[in-house]
A and B are shown apart, each in its own frame.
Chain A
């Protein structure tokens, strides 16, 4: 069945809640209203207010309560209306969710999922458009999932919900309704920690995640038309990260372009570049190129398009690297 990303996530949540009674949804406006992006549409009516909780407006309360629920046997899937408001509860991730397993030597754990609508491109208000995966990737004990398509969104979310650890599930808002693709109606999971090689190639490896994977596809098509063979890898998960797939690809191509929407400095692309240095240095024929958002406060909607890597910038990055 052809689904948008919103429909794929909704279908996943419905199936998971039918499968396991300990799964519950919580967040601001996720119930009666079905969420501001309608991701949880219809679930309140189907599962009731005890399992689809319209919470008071407090990210810290939502995540703190979810930690307690998860530690005592539930499987909460909490929606933070916009990732840009999660900071109010960052302490819960650092101090508790990420480390309860470690500090109790495996006795207690926090199997919860935080859904974080993220990134820009939908002409939203201030604080609604950042890509902040790096600040979470820096916390040991968390898993970070970053789907780039409806098919991946459904399979990765099912895997995140059944995972034994806390999973941050980033939803690039601009992909919510950007396109439809074939998504199985039945339940399936995609392994966390395994990257997806979207297309094999021999000259340059392109690594990206989230909305940038989608944007990069056009640049890759253009580069191929200009005679550069690109191997395109979508990370699917930032943590754990599939360093093996990246290294194997770079050993083959000798060149790599990392594309991300987040700002450049200390972006996850820096980690990708460093790991390539560690794992595939002798195969490199060119420096690892980063095509990223600029190191600025992301502009308000009217000029935000100057911020994002677009087809032209990504293509330039590929061609520069190929011809280095």
Chain B
């Protein structure tokens, strides 16, 4: 018996705008000027908001926060590629994506201020509350997509995670179930090179994360995650494919977390400055700005207006979020659909008879 090849595969990499903003015209998505302006505005808003959150945390006005800087293009591209009927299941690093999906910014801030109401998201927005555990949301996206199919809705479920999440068993479960049940699911993995301090090469021996799709019969693609046009294009095409009944898609967004994992760690301990400088050159906003400038959309006046508008929105959200006072009794009210007698008694004991 001869040895014969039973499988062969390959994985592609997509980049539309290179680090210097040079465009691959053939791959350019067809986006109207108004959308491009909006994308830039939200990219800037996302960065300013993220820095504001860190400042709030440093001054004791917010609790632990997971910064986004450097990865804004992913949240942006993902949400802009989604339709209203699609569902987003974000990880904690994509709380800004919830805003883009329509959640008020003050709600997001309320969440990072350590208040559950920050995750009380209007169901109509089709945005899940972001999750803190690593990877366990991935299977929800498979079940959620199955539910959409059963209800006869033409919706995709887009779920986000990081490179660390791909080491969890849930990643395997999710890709395997998505393949076997043929669900309209898009997995967006932000490979930001580190899971807290552990580098990507210590998570997996695999050359890419995208290639893992092949083993599950899914479509995999590696994308320049700092290129908003590539992110947008890849997610849009993935959503269209899974809605058409094609296998689920795994997108590896190659990016870099410019800041710490959360406000509780110091990245200087585990990575060197040369590496950070390398990625700074690949900043997602910088290259998109060049692209818009070349299109005659960006100029100094536009920048000034975008910045001013964004600051206003952010400051307004901060004020509203800080004014929000949670009702501590709510810890008892939402454990079950109907409060049990046991909890009624404990609530009374906790707050006295003033209730």
Contacts and interface: CB of A to CB of B under 8 A. Distances in A.
A102 interface: yes
Given A55-B177, A103-B129, A240-B341, A68 B120 contact: no
Interface in A71-118: 71-74, 76, 88, 91-92, 95-96, 100-109
Contacts of A65: 139-140, 142-143, 146, 177, 181
A104 B335 contact: no
Interface in A103-162: 103-109, 140-141, 143
Contact of A60 (B120, B143, B148, B173): B173
A193 interface: yes
In the complex, which range does the number of interface residues on chain A fall in?
35 or more
A58 interface: yes
A178 interface: no
Q: Is the interface of B mostly helix, strand, loop or mixed?
A: helix
Identify which of B122, B138, B177 gathers the most chain A CB atoms within 10 Å of its CB: B177
Contact of A240 (B131, B177, B340): B340
Nearest to A73: B147
Interface string A42-84: 0000000011010110101101111111111110100000000
Contact of A69 (B123, B146, B336, B337): B146
A104 B120 CA distance: 4
B128 interface: yes
Given A55-B177, A64-B142, A65-B177, A108 B170 contact: no
A58 B117 contact: no
A37 interface: no
B129 to A, nearest CB: 5
B9 interface: no
A164 interface: yes
A98 to B, nearest CB: 8
B119 A105 contact: yes
Interface in B297-337: 330-331, 333-337
Contacts of B122: 107
Contacts of A295: none
Contacts of A141: 335-336
Contacts of B143: 64-72, 74, 76
A106 B131 CA distance: 16
Contacts of A74: 143, 146-147, 150-151
Given A103-B119, A105-B117, A106-B120, A69 B147 contact: yes
Interface string B111-152: 000001101111100001101010011111111111110110
17 contacts: A53-B181, A56-B176, A64-B143, A65-B139, A67-B143, A68-B140, A68-B141, A68-B147, A69-B147, A72-B87, A74-B150, A92-B136, A102-B331, A105-B119, A106-B120, A163-B337, A165-B336
Interface of A: 22, 24, 50-51, 53, 55-56, 58, 60-61, 63-74, 76, 88, 91-92, 95-96, 100-109, 140-141, 143, 163-165, 193, 240-241, 243-244
Given A72-B148, A105-B330, A163-B337, 17 more contacts: A58-B177, A61-B177, A64-B136, A64-B139, A64-B140, A64-B170, A69-B143, A69-B147, A72-B87, A72-B143, A73-B151, A96-B136, A101-B337, A104-B121, A105-B119, A107-B119, A240-B342
